[in-house]
Amino acid sequence: MAKYTVNDEAVEFLRGLIERKQYVLDSDWGDVQPDAAAQNAYLENHSWPDYARWHLGLTVGANDDTKARYAFVVGDFRRVHRSGLIASVYRAAEWRHKKVELAAHELLQLLDETAGITDD
């Protein structure tokens, strides 16, 4: 099983997007998650560091500047998706990647607070 470290630069970038309200509250992650074609199109016009900042996880041992290096994407390369954060929390928890799980959870809490989502 792959091992991941938290991409701290992505966490800061995504936190900034959330604070600027660049997020989507309701989406079907299976439909909006960037597929291989969308990733390739993004990389045609952006750098690897730009690509990396959309991914909460860095695959231990994978080479930089490869798709294999980056995991747990949470946005569509324009906005953070609440459903992407939920998917990352779930997937990281399922496979016991605790630090990535907690990073995704903290961003989800920030998004909910920023969007005014409460128990009320």
26 domain-assigned: yes
| Domain count along the chain | 1
120 domain-assigned: no
Q: What is the 3-state secondary structure (H, E, C) of the chain?
A: CCCEEECHHHHHHHHHHHHCCCEECCCCHHHHCCCHHHHHHHHHHCCHHHHHCCEEEEECCCCCCCHHHEEEECECCCCEEHHHHHHHHHHHHHCCCHHHHHHHHHHHHHHHHHHCCCCC
Model confidence pLDDT, tens digit, residues 18-51: 999 999 999 999 999 999 999 999 999 999 999 9
76 domain-assigned: yes
82 domain-assigned: yes
24 domain-assigned: yes
Model confidence pLDDT, tens digit, residues 106-120: 999 999 999 999 886
pTM here is 0.96
Structural domain including 72 reads 4-115
85 domain-assigned: yes
